[in-house]
Structure 1
Amino acid sequence: MSNIHPKTSPIYQTSVFAFEDLNALETYFSEPGQSYMYTRYGNPNTDELAGKINALEQGVGAVVTSSGMSAILAAALAICKAGDHILCAEEIYGGSSALLSQELTRIGIEVTYVPMEEIYDLRQHVRPETKMLLAETMSNPLIQVLDVERLANAAKQQGIKLVIDNTFATPVLTQPLLLGADLVIHSITKYISGHSDVTAGVVVCSTESDLQRVLKVMMTYGLNLSPFEGWLAARGLKTLRLRMKQHSSNALTIANYLQQHPKVEKVWYPGLEEHPQHELAKTQGRGAFGGMLSFRIKDEAEAVNRFMRALKNIPFAPSLAGVDSSISYPAGTSHRSLSNELREKQGITAGVIRFSVGIEEAEELIADLEQALAEV
């Protein structure tokens, strides 16, 4: 058996590992990382996935979790305790906002949302008890691009940690830790796994102390990822670079198409020269702009319904970043928990549709969009 060397890692689908004797048990505790005891604490499949993502983000270590939401929770609880204060970019995934506002506030952590126009000058928002700022490389759903290096400098000036959700950009486009961020999180469910068949998250750390705190939170709160999910995500990760090239190429082609369509009132995509952060996105994204865009048709729910029903090959699926394209409706899904006033302020109106552009042939996607837009 010792001569077996599989090219692909086997799946360690076990909840517990056996020890030879008490000496082996003591070795587990005295030499961390040399062996395994319980899959909630660690497993070869999840460790392999964490190591590969950490290498892409160039951190000191990573911890994989059961979902993108549990990754955000692990990062926040690793840094903050009751009585502390979190800053969060106002334009952010609705699930992140709900976690902070509805759940962390219940355990004594306060939250303040920072408008985009004030995000690089935090002085008026920071308190003595402020511990971290959460923001996205590219905001969900209107794809505003943050200058991570500038934001990191602003956070350091105030003595707080910067946590960047890099899900939309992926480390193929942007590596926030190299730009000064303290922690990076991903919903592995999205581009990293890439095939809409995994639910997972990850926290990548720039310091050993943060890594140990995140690991402790994951283990204690039971936020661990299952071995099979870890194995499946590691398999998907192998094609991340190839997929991101095609996602980005297709999205730019489709953004240009939508921009000139008479039924489309506005397109949000950083690859368009009209996008307010186009030059930043070009530099920070190494010349690529990702696979996510949003566009607005007539601000009527029934117009959106007609469009959705007419699509033949692009499903309405409230997630993103799979190899197959999909559309979503932020006002009714990802940002449903926001008040009507806040959605309106951010521009998430009734006609806004988020488009996760897949890796199909761009011409096929445009043909489907063309006939569906005719029904609007």
Structure 2
Amino acid sequence: MKITPKITPIYQTSVFKFDDLNELEQYFGEPGSRYMYSRNGNPNSDELAEAVNKLEGGVGAIATGSGMAAIFAAILAYCQAGDHVLCAADIYGGSSSLLNAELSRMGITVTYVPFEQLYTLDEFVQPTTRLLLAETISNPLLRVADLQSLATECHRHGLKLVVDNTFASPIITRPLELGADITLHSVTKYIAGHSDVTAGVVVTNDAETAARLKQIGVFYGLTLSPMESWLAVRGLKTLRLRMREHSANALAIAHFLAAHPKVRQVNYPGLDAHPQHALAREQGAGQFGGMMSFLLADEASAVNDLMHRTKRFPFAPSLAGVDSSLSYPLGTSHRYLSSEQQQELGITVGLVRLSVGIEPLEELLADLAQALD
């Protein structure tokens, strides 16, 4: 009986069988012709990698065990001991921790570039500088990078541009089309979308870099498991629909918060007052995503009151699921920065980050209204 599944099955196996030595030689002689060991690749992780690769317009991709593993692989694709990395100062705290605490042990140094100086890198570039790491939309202040200008400046200095596209997703922005050399995602967030997967993906527009990423994934054991890959692919199929709802809900909530007397500032690219609003509109095809942050009074009690009163925005230090949540950057993602760095970036006691889900908008607005009032 022939069985032809519509959906790729879960290949929940650590190893694949060979009939004889001829098949073994085929595995090594014709890369990609068959599978041997799931750390080296499996049908589910390859399906996820190829699906995101197609969305991003790349030539090759790997799926990893987390977004942090994706950042690690992307940097190692271009760097070795003795090299130097530039990193946007407005970056996810985990990225800076990786650079500061671990990659420094491997002999890779880092310099942080203020957002306002990203497009004039002359004073930051060293002879050993290899790349710039930046985010399409920064975490948690929602600053939007002009990726085309950033790519031009990087390539003028012979640097690679690595872009964390997690906050935007490929539905809103495709960094490779704007000149980036690598784009990456925490698949845990919008791509999987249901807060039940931990995964990452790295996509490149260069075949040689794609081969290097594959090597890194195998040697460091970064390859994503079959079950997580299958769940992420299932989530990915509704990404376009979800991003539309995330964006619509977030824009309405941003307008509501901007008018509320207890909110001192709202950081959301969809607002006309946002410094990069025009860029975000052009680069994001009119969608701005579901992430935002806002400032309450700089008192822990004000933040705690909000957390205690809200019913639809539970305090959960992650983001981009179909269910809304809130987070506290000062105490979670950016807690390991020095107090000086936190102040320079504007990550203060009163800063709250919202991940706006796809629930009925009127329910989200009513909940925020009662929580703030």
Shorter-chain TM-score: which interval?
over 0.9
AA in 2 matched with 1:160: L
Offset at 1:313?
A: 2.1
Q: TM-score, structure 1 length as denominator? A: 0.99
Q: Which residue of 2 aligns with 1:151?
A: 150
Instruction: Please list every run of at least 4 consecutive aligned residues from structure 1 whose deviation after the TM superposition is greater than 6 angstroms.
Output: none
Q: Secondary structure at the match of 1:245?
A: helix
In 2, distance between residues paired with 1:95 and 1:337?
9
Supply the distance in 2 between the matched residues of 1:295 and 1:121 (Cα, whole angstroms): 29
Aligned to 1:78: 77
Q: Residue 87 of structure 1 aligns to a residue in which SS?
A: strand
The separation in 1 between residues aligned to 2:77 and 2:155, in whole angstroms, is 18
SS in 1 for 2:127: coil
* Shift of residue 7, structure 1, vs aligned partner: 1.0
How far apart, CA to CA, are the structure 1 residues paired with 2:155 and 2:317? 35
After the TM superposition, which residues 227-376 of structure 1 pair with which residues of structure 2 at under 5 Å, given as runs? 227-374=226-373
Question: SS at the partner of 1:40?
Answer: helix
**Alpha-carbon offset, residue 362 of structure 1:** 1.2
Q: Secondary structure at the match of 2:130?
A: strand
Q: Which amino acid aligns with 2:133?
A: L
What residue in structure 2 maps to residue 226 of structure 1? 225
DSSP-derived class of the 2:19 partner: coil
Which residue identity is paired with 1:36?
Answer: Y
Q: TM-score, normalised by structure 2?
A: 0.99
Gaps of 5+ in 2: none
Match of residue 177 from structure 2: 178
In the alignment of these two chains, the number of paired residues is 373
**Structure 2 partner of 1:164:** 163
> Residue in 2 aligned with 1:49?
48
Distance apart, 1:102 and its partner CA: 1.1
Q: What is the CA–CA distance in structure 2 between the aligned matches of 1:362 and 1:268, rounded to whole Å?
A: 19
Cross-structure match for 2:201: 202
2:20 is aligned to 21
SS in 1 for 2:359: coil
Looking at structure 1, the residues matched to 235 and 215 of structure 2 have their Cα atoms a distance apart, in angstroms, of 27
Counterpart of 1:217? 216
The secondary structure found in structure 2 opposite 1:20 is coil
Structure 2 match to 1:87: 86
Q: What's the CA shift string for 1:349-368, capped at 9, x where partnerless?
A: 10000000000111101111
SS in 1 for 2:70: helix
Q: In the aligned structure 1, how far is the partner of 2:299 from the partner of 2:40?
A: 49
Aligned CA RMSD, in angstroms, stands at 0.6
CA shift at 1:294, angstroms? 0.3
Q: Which runs of 5+ in 1 are unaligned?
A: none
Separation of aligned partners in 2, 1:200 and 1:95: 15
The share of aligned pairs that are identical, in percent, is 63
SS at match of 1:76: helix
State the 1:54 CA deviation.
0.3
- Report the alpha carbon displacement of residue 78 of structure 1 after superposing the two structures with TM: 1.5
Deviation at 1:6, TM superposition (A): 0.8
Cα distance, 1:107 vs structure 2: 1.1
2:203 match: secondary structure: strand
Aligned partner of 2:96: which letter? S
Tell me which amino acid in the other structure corresponds to 1:272.
L
Structure 2 letter corresponding to 1:135: A
1:134-159: per-residue Cα shift (whole Å, max 9, x none)? Answer: 00000000000000000000000000
CA distance in 1, matches of 2:213, 2:50: 15
Once the two structures are superposed, residues 79-131 of structure 1 have per-residue CA deviations (whole angstroms, 9 ceiling, x without a partner) of 10000000000000000010011110111000000001110011110111000
Question: Could you tell me how far apart the structure 1 residues matched to 2:93 and 2:56 are?
Answer: 25
Distance of 2:372 and 2:297 partners within structure 1: 11
- In the aligned structure 2, how far is the partner of 1:261 from the partner of 1:118? 33
| Whole-angstrom CA distance in 2 between matches of 1:362 and 1:124 | 47
